Structures are given as C-alpha cells and as structure tokens.
Amino acid sequence: MSDEAHDAVGDYRFGFHDPEHSTIRFDKGLSEQVVRDISALKDEPQWMTDIRVKAYQHFIERPMPDWGNCHSLNEINFDNVTYFLRSSDSTQNDWDDVPEDIKNTFNRLGIPEAEQKWLGGVTAQYESEAVYHSIREDLEEQGVLFLDMDSGLKKFPEIIKQYFGTVVPHTDNKFSALNTAVWSGGSFIYVPKGIHVEMPVQAYFRINAKNMGQFERTLIIADEDSSIHYVEGCTAPTYSTDSLHSAVVELIAMKGAKIRYSTIQNWSANVFNLVTKRGVAYERATIEWVDGNIGSKLTMKYPAVLLKGEGAHAEVISVAYAGKGQHQDAGAKVHHLAPNTTSNILSKSISKNGGRSSYRGMLQVTPKSHGCRSKIVCDALMLDSESRSDTYPTMEVGNPTADLEHEASVSKVSGDQLFYLMSRGFTEEQAMGLIVNGFFEPFTRELPMEYAVELNKLLELEMEGSIG
C-alpha cells in the first residue's frame, strides 16, 4: 500500500486482500449491453431484464444529486467500475466447498465461528454474489425463506415480482436506479405468519477486487405477526483507488410484524457507500433500523420507514464515526402516513481528525394522520476543533395533533472528563476510547452482544495513535 493510501485509511484492520479470484469478470464501465449481459448470465426472467434496462435508462438520464457532498460524489468515475465479478461458480451450503482463499477471508473475519455460536442463518457475499449460504434446519421447517437474492429470484419469482421495487422504485434516486440496473446478490427473506425467528440471521458483504462495484439487493418480508432480526456487516480491503457500494434494501412488515435490521458498516476509507434503505410498516407493525457507520470515504444513507398502517412504529438508531478524510452523511426519514403512528430517531455522531459527520433527517406527518408522536434526538461529539458536524433536519407536519420533540446537542470531550479518567490510571487515548464507547452506548446496547463487543474494540482501535 502506498504511503498516501495508508495515510488515508489509517490502520484499518480488515485492509488485507486476497489474490483476485474470479471465474467471470466484466470489463469496466456501464452500458445497456452490460446490464443485459448480467441478466442473461443469471438466466433471469424477461420481466427482470426489462426492469433492469428501464432502470439503466433512468440512471443515465438522472442527474447527480445536487445536495450532500457533491464534490465527493462527483469524484465517482462510473467508467472505472467493475459492475460484475463472479468469484465462485456456485453458492455453497457446505463451508468446506467454498474456495480456499475466500474461505480464509471469512475465517479471518470470524464468520463461521459466529454462525456456530449464535446465528440462525448466514449468507456471505464476496464481490457480486453469495459464495456461502446456510440456514438452521428448524427455521427452514417452519417455512422461513432465507436465500441469497439470485437464488430467491430463481426459486420464488412470483413473490419477488410482487414486491421488488415496490418500496424503493428505481426512479427514487440515481443510485437506486443504478442498483436496480446492475443488482447482484443480497438477501431474500420471507417469514411466514406468526413465526418469530429468535436468533438473528446475518449477511456478510466483502469487496475484495479493486475498483469493484457491489450492488446487493435485499428484500425482507415479515408476514402478519411474525418477527425477525437481520444483521449485516461489511468490509473491504484497502486500495489507493476507490470502490463503490450501492445497495438497495426493501423491508415489508405486515400487520403486527416486526423487523429489526442492524448494520455495522466498516468499509475501508476508499469506498463510496451510497445506499437506499426503506421499509413499509402496516397496522401495528414495527420497523427498526440500527445503523452503524464507521468506515467508508463517503456514506450517504438515510434509513427510512413509511408508517402506512394505524399504530405502526418506527425506530431508527444510528451512529456515525467520521475520521480523517471521511464524510458520514447519514440520518433517518420517517413518514407518518396513518393515524396514531409513532417514531423514535436517535442519531449519534463523532468527528475526529478533520472528519465530517452530518445528520440529515426528514419527518413527515400527513394531514389525515392524527395522534402521531415522534421524538428525534441528535447528539454530536467532536474530538477536536478541526472536525465538523452539521445537522439538516426537515419537518413537514400536516396534522395539528402531532406530538413532536426534537433535541439536538453538539459537545466536545471536556478536559475535566479526561483528567478524571486519567487520574484513574487511563492514558489519554484510553480515556478518549471510554468516552467514545460511552457516547455510543445507547446504540451499542441494541446490538447482539458479539457485535457490541466488536464495535467497542473497533472504536478503541480508532482512538489509538489519535492523540497528538
């Protein structure tokens, strides 16, 4: 790695990369032919090919967003991205059958171990497609579907045709258009009526190749009165050139259902992370986004919930950590489209070494939605004076009975806190690490224990060598 690249990414723990492993690799750049080729390669039904091509047209016509970090966005060179790379001939259900070097990667990331210990199912995506997939037998017997999206489309085309693009249409934004055109991989989950999946299911996304574009597509449907917790983690190696991750995630929580979607995004600091995540919650349903953004060069992501049924509830808890050269532009969108719907948004961000974190939020209450309640709390912590934090909240309230609270705070680590902790034997870095972990605690406690421990370790590592 060049010094410059190292400088940009610091001591990123997952920055190792394997020799590239590909059975099919498309040339860089995007055209209608590339889109058709991806679809043909996957042997997709015609309707999917048509959606892809339509989405491609929209992507071409749609201008870049003129908000957020335009400067950084415009650095993306769409011609220098590899849009499809197949690294294994098939998705394996047996860990032993996964190609050796890919297996090593996931071993280093601790995936098989986690599966044995505490997960209900695992899918591991490497570049464009899943290389490993498994689900606990008892869940399968209960009728729970958990597949990678490509297999999902093959085996359950009707369900996918019914829901694909209904929550995030390809016309939503430029990057949802791009994803719809070239999507590959991701998860497809269906939880039948009344089934509660007690153990979380996990997806792990890994970009290995240079200048790679990863465009996974996830669709989760929780039928009436069911529940599921989906966890995803992401890493990539450290290169001096940029990669692009642009996912679309659609959640559908039917009457009385509950979906919790947790993400710890720890991309290396050369990845553009431009993701559209949105869920629909029907009557008394709950959708919870637990969203951690630690890595990437630029993240623009605003997990959204459409509260469409009476009494539905949305929860968006997010943390962002912006270090040197990073911009975390994250937030939440909640649309109260039905009466007596409720939402909580908690956003916590930390900026350090000139990093920038922004909260961008949208809260909407439509005129017919009476009796809605929403609470938004945004806390920013700055670790030095060269870093930056902004808040861009938008509220559109059309019903006078809405009960809304909005609190925002920006704080710095106080000298008194550092002195107190140092008088208890902590070095300045350790003290900073404790304060940062404490600041993120309302988020961390929502994670499965294993993730919480991992996140705290990660943050402590980020604090090392950070005090001048």
Partner 1 sequence: MGVTGVSEILRIENLHVSVDETPIIKGLTLTINRGEIHVIMGRNGAGKSTLASVLMGHPAYEITEGTIHYLSQPLEELTVFERARAGMFLSFQYPVVIPGVQVGTFLKKSVQSVRDEPIKGRAFRKELNEAMNTLDMNKSVLSRYVNDGFSGGEKKRLEILQMLMLNPKLALLDETDSGLDIDALRIVAKGINQVAPEAGCLIITHYQRLLDHVKPTYVHVMIDGQILLTGGPELALELEEKGYDWIDAAPEA
CB of 460 to partner 1, least distance (A): 11
Stretch that binds partner 1, among 15-23, 244-252, 361-369, 440-448 (CB under 8 A): 440-448
Spatial CA neighbour of 183 closest among 245, 134, 138: 245
Q: Is 385 in the site for partner 1 (CB under 8 A)?
A: no
Determine, following the binding rule CB under 8 A, whether residue 155 of this chain makes contact with partner 1.
Answer: no
Backbone torsions φ then ψ of 422, nearest 5 degrees: -65, -30
Q: Indicate the residue among 160 and 434 with the shorter CB distance to partner 1.
A: 434
* 72 binding partner 1? (CB under 8 A): no
Task: Determine the Cα–Cα distance for residues 455 and 437; give it in Å rounded to an integer.
Answer: 9
User: In whole angstroms, how close is the CB of 404 to partner 1 at the nearest point?
Assistant: 25
Using CB under 8 A, pick the residue from 155, 419, 449, 457 that binds partner 1. Answer: 419
Taking the least distance from each CB to partner 1, the nearer of 392 and 419 is 419
Confirm or reject binding of residue 438 to partner 1 (CB under 8 A): yes
Which of residues 6, 78, 417, 450 is near partner 1 by CB under 8 A? 417
Q: How far is the CB of 426 from partner 1 (least distance, A)?
A: 6
Provide the 3-class DSSP secondary structure of residue 451.
Answer: helix
In the structure encoding, which two tokens stand for residue 153, read together? 């489309």
Contact pick of 26, 289, 302, 439 for partner 1 (by CB under 8 A): 439
Among 437, 450, 458, 461, which residue interacts with partner 1 (rule: CB under 8 A)?
437
Residue (20 or 429) nearer to partner 1, CB: 429
Q: What is the dihedral of CA 432, 434, 437, 438, to 10 degrees?
A: -110
**Calpha distance 114→314 (Å, rounded):** 28
Kindly state the smallest distance separating residue 413's Cβ from partner 1, in Å.
10
Q: Does 422 bind partner 1 (CB under 8 A)?
A: yes
Check residue 434 for interaction with partner 1 (CB under 8 A). yes
- Smallest distance from the beta carbon of 456 to partner 1, in angstroms? 10
Task: Check residue 414 for interaction with partner 1 (CB under 8 A).
Answer: yes
Q: How far is the CB of 454 from partner 1 (least distance, A)?
A: 16
Q: Minimum CB separation from partner 1 for residue 444, in Å? A: 8
Residue 276 in contact with residue 248, Cβ under 8 Å? yes
Provide the minimum distance between the beta carbon of 446 and partner 1 in the complex, in angstroms, as a whole number: 13
d(CA 279, CA 281): 7
Q: Quick one: which segment of 198-206, 270-278, 311-319, 413-421 binds partner 1 (CB under 8 A)?
A: 413-421
Q: By CB under 8 A, what part of segment 246-285 binds partner 1? A: none
**Distance of alpha carbon 38 from alpha carbon 368, whole angstroms:** 44
Q: How far apart are CA 249 and CA 275, in angstroms?
A: 8
| Count of CA atoms in the C-beta half-sphere (13 A) of 25 | 16
Interface with partner 1, residue 415, by CB under 8 A: yes
CB of 124 closer than 8 Å to CB of 111:
yes
Please check whether residue 99 is in contact with residue 208, taking contact to mean a CB–CB distance below 8 angstroms.
no
Nearer to partner 1, 230 or 451 (CB): 451
Residues facing 435 on adjacent strands:
none
- Using the rule CB under 8 A, is 440 a contact of partner 1? yes
**Of 83-91, 104-112, 169-177, 427-435, which part binds partner 1 (CB under 8 A)?**
427-435
Question: Which helix (H) or strand (E) covers residue 63, if one does?
Answer: none
SS3 per residue for 196-244: ECCCCEEEEEECCCCCEEECCEEEEEECCCCEEEEEEEEECCCCCCCEE
- As beta bridge partners, residue 377 has 346, 407
Q: At closest approach, how far in Å is the CB of 453 from partner 1?
A: 12
Could you say which of 37, 101, 310, 428 contacts partner 1 (CB under 8 A)? 428
Pairing of strands 121-126, 129-135: antiparallel
CB of 419 to partner 1, least distance (A): 6
Locate 205 and state its tokens.
């996304």
The least distance separating partner 1 from the CB of residue 377, rounded to whole angstroms, comes to 13
Q: Does 409 bind partner 1 (CB under 8 A)?
A: no
Q: Does 384 bind partner 1 (CB under 8 A)?
A: no
Q: Are strands 24-25 and 85-86 parallel, antiparallel or unpaired?
A: antiparallel
Find the part of the chain contacting partner 1 (CB under 8 A) among 124-132, 276-284, 388-396, 420-428. 420-428
Structure tokens that stand for 394 in this block: 């938008």
Q: Which region, judged by CB under 8 A, interacts with partner 1, from 105-113, 250-258, 306-314, 429-437?
A: 429-437
Q: Which residues have CB under 8 Å from 30's CB, separation 6+? A: 56, 78, 79, 81, 83, 181, 182
CA-closest candidate to residue 387, choices 429, 349, 351, 439? 351
The contact set with partner 1 (CB under 8 A) reads 414-417, 419-428, 430, 434-435, 437-442
